[in-house]
Amino acid sequence: MVRLFDDTTQEAFGIVAIERAKQLALERELDLVEVAPQAQPPVCRLMDYGRFKFEALKREKESRREHNVITVKEMKLRPKISEHDFQTKFGYVKHFLEDGDKVKLTIVFRGRELVHQEYGRKLLDRMAEELRNLAAIERNALVEGRNMTMILSPAHKKPVKPETTRVEDDRDYEAVAAEAVAVSDEPAVEGSQPDAQDSQP
């Protein structure tokens, strides 16, 4: 005995014999999928399993595209850095910001250098000024132990990947549809099981 639902029509059949569930799946040309094997009785759903997997895959891809992940890169500098090294590190910081990442600038003081914090502050201010078109100061210069830090945020959002083309979507559907056929050939109420919560109408 199983508790049966039809995801395509939102019907709830209540508790039916497994043979009846198989018969309904055959009549409606749907897949019989067990979604809650631990329940008493187990819960099954009639669904187009290929379409279910395809839509889940599509939602996952869209979520990855829309989710704007911003990481924080750290760039360390010495208060008496040479002009050549400054320009090299400047180039890295610029690249990070253009990629949409935040940057934590860290001035590392050694020995008595900590007494002359103004050198580190001038260095941070110079970096922020030269990057004013690409970044905004999220956190002003702050002394943390023997370090002085500043955080820059990108002025523009992190670029996202182009949307998946229709051709790619069709290929994805063909792949999951083939998988669904394989699942439907297995004994009923066995095989791949979608998450019960995800499959709720």
* Range of weakest confidence among 4-18, 59-73, 134-148: 59-73
31-36 and 102-108: which strand pairing? Answer: unpaired
Distances (CA, A) of 9 to 12, 14, 58, 79, 85: 9, 14, 22, 69, 67
Q: What radius of gyration, in Å, describes the C-alpha atoms of the chain?
A: 29
Whether residue 106 contacts residue 141, with contact meaning beta carbons closer than 8 Å, is answered with: no
Q: What number is the average pLDDT over the span 88-106?
A: 92
DSSP states of 162-177: PPPPHHHHHHHHHHHH
pLDDT at 188 over 70: no
CATH 3.10.20.80 fits 2-64+166-184, yes or no: yes
Q: Domain 72-154 carries which CATH code?
A: 3.30.110.10
The per-residue pLDDT for 10 is 86
pLDDT at 94 over 60: yes
Q: What number is the average pLDDT over the span 29-48?
A: 89
Tens of pLDDT along 1-38? 999 988 888 888 989 999 989 999 898 889 888 888 88
Whether the domain at 2-64+166-184 and the domain at 72-154 fall into the same CATH topology: no
Q: Which H/E stretch holds residue 44?
A: strand 43-47
The span from the CA of 61 to the CA of 64, in Å, is 5
Whether residue 97 contacts residue 75, with contact meaning beta carbons closer than 8 Å, is answered with: no
Q: Map out the domains of the chain as residue ranges.
A: 2-64+166-184, 72-154
Work out the burial of residue 22: count CB atoms within 10 Å of its CB; fewer than 13 is exposed, 13-18 middle, 19 or more buried. Answer: middle
pLDDT at 74 over 90: yes
